[in-house]
Amino acid sequence: MDRKKVIELMINELKEHGYEERLPKTCENRIKDLMKITKGLIHKIESTTSQKDQEYLLRSAPEHIKLILGRLIQTSATKRSSSEEIDDTPSPKKGKKDDDPPYVDKSKSPQEGSPTSGSRPYDTLIRNESTRLKISNFLKSNTSDNVEPRPTMRVAPPMTGEENRLLTQIFLENYDLYYSTNGGRGKSAGKSDRRRVLEQIVEELRGRGFEERTEKAVENRIADNMRMTRKLISRIENAPNSVAAECILKAAPDHLKLILGKIESNMPQEAEKEKSPEVDNEEEEVNVVKVEEDDGFGDIAMNEGPSFNDAYNDPPMMLPEDLTALEERKLEAQIQNEATRARVLAREEQLQLQRQRILDLQEQYYRAKINKMAREIRRNPNPTQ
């Protein structure tokens, strides 16, 4: 078959199987590249003396290269058998001149279209007989019937918003158990508690019909959620104003808002633990009450600095460092919308004042006109006379 017809057949087969349409030149170049790769692999196998290295090279070769190697093995075997048949032909008669062409039996010569007819430069790639036998034995022993299929690693799809929300809810319900804050039972007990929580989350997700997750994947997701929550708190604290902070908080996912609620609920307890010292006797208790009932200078007197709530409610006036360009544009648009709304309200107020002024002027005009008509009537009560 002609080369052009073969390439056309390849293109049609690719089309029928739903692949992208390729140009004939592209297919031809790809075939040349594959043959070059096969030639390089054969050269590496021939230059390597270690049998383990040769097996490793053959095992790591792609499947399409192995197919080409199998075809070359068949071609070289056919060519070798046909050459042996040609060598068995009778030698030329005695007395024949050296210039005469050698005698060849045409009945045993390769026919047209046979594997050895024509000029095919890749038929002689495997010249070494030992290399040919090694490749042949490897391909025979590693066919699809003999080799066990390798388990394919399936990549789980990303978590949906509902799945992430359910995971976060179960995690927050077992927050103290997960971080072993009920504590004092040792490191092994903490690990077993965490594993119990992870197993509960995995079972709950499976029972709700979500994608099956491993305990390691759930643990990594919890760590990522906590890390994103810390970043979210940092952005809110470093927001330039309250409008920007509200915008950042509204744009946060629902599961991060749940974690924020848990953290805020734990804040008063931690603040009370930090602010309320342990009292040994009644005198110290009285002193603490006096300090707490002071007129706002208790923090300065005790040299404790600003309270936790003040630091949280009054963040420093600086732009957040890790704010993305999209969030900056959102904040700018929000600020521009606020300024535009203020300008519109001011303009509407001005228009209302102008309308009221016009109404007042109209009222004055009609009052003056009525008074003028009344004066004329009083001066001339009978205009017809």
| Confidence label for 6 from pLDDT (cuts 50, 70 and 90) | confident
Tell me, what's the pLDDT at 289?
41
Residue type, 298: G
The predicted model gives 114-133 an average pLDDT of 58
Closest CA to 104 of 80, 81, 83, 78: 83
Strands (E), 271-383: none
Q: Which helix (H) or strand (E) holds 374?
A: helix 325-379
Tell me, what's the pLDDT at 12?
85
The predicted model gives 220-247 an average pLDDT of 87
Half-sphere exposure in the Cβ direction for 272 (13 Å, CA)? 5
pLDDT at 359 over 80: yes
Q: What is the mean pLDDT of the chain?
A: 71
What is the rounded distance in angstroms from the CA atom of residue 300 to the CA atom of residue 262? 31
Domain ranges of the chain: 3-91+116-141, 161-275
Q: Which are the contacts of 172, defined by CB distance < 8 A and separation ≥ 6?
A: 258, 259, 262
Angle in degrees, 0-180, between the axes of helices 51-60 and 129-141, rounded to the nearest 10: 60
Tell me, what's the pLDDT at 370?
92
Angle in degrees, 0-180, between the axes of helices 325-379 and 242-251, rounded to the nearest 10: 120
The predicted model gives 229-240 an average pLDDT of 87
The predicted model gives 224-243 an average pLDDT of 87
Q: Where are the alpha helices (DSSP H) in 147-281?
A: 161-173, 175-178, 187-207, 215-237, 242-251, 254-275
**Model-level pTM?**
0.36
- Please calculate the CA angle 361-363-366 and round it to the nearest 5 degrees: 110
Q: At 338, give phi and psi (nearest 5°).
A: -65, -45
With residues binned 3-state (H G I as helix, E B as strand, rest as coil), the percentages for the chain, rounded to 5, are: 70, 0, 30
Tell me, what's the pLDDT at 119?
46
pLDDT at 365 over 50: yes
Closest CA to 225 of 260, 277, 182, 197: 260
Q: At 155, give phi and psi (nearest 5°).
A: -85, 125
Highest mean pLDDT among 142-146, 339-343, 348-352: 348-352
- Give per-residue burial for 49-58: e unless 16+ CB within 10 Å, then b: eeeeebbeeb
Angle in degrees, 0-180, between the axes of helices 24-47 and 3-16, rounded to the nearest 10: 100
Task: Please name the residue that has the structure tokens 């042949």.
Answer: 136
CA 153 and chain centroid, separation:
18
Digit-coded pLDDT (tens) for 64-119: 888 888 777 777 666 555 555 545 555 554 444 444 444 444 444 444 444 444 44
- Residue 217: C-alpha distances to residues 198, 210, 235, 270, 334 (Å): 10, 14, 27, 31, 37
More confident residue, 63 or 358: 358
The predicted model gives 243-255 an average pLDDT of 85
| Confidence label for 341 from pLDDT (cuts 50, 70 and 90) | confident
Tell me, what's the pLDDT at 1?
64
Task: Please name the residue that has the structure tokens 């990549």.
Answer: 155
Q: Which are the contacts of 164, defined by CB distance < 8 A and separation ≥ 6?
A: 221, 225, 253, 255
| Cβ 217 vs Cβ 154: under 8 Å | no
**Six-digit token pair at 296?**
């706002």
- Residue 326: C-alpha distances to residues 160, 239, 293, 331, 332 (Å): 23, 15, 48, 9, 10
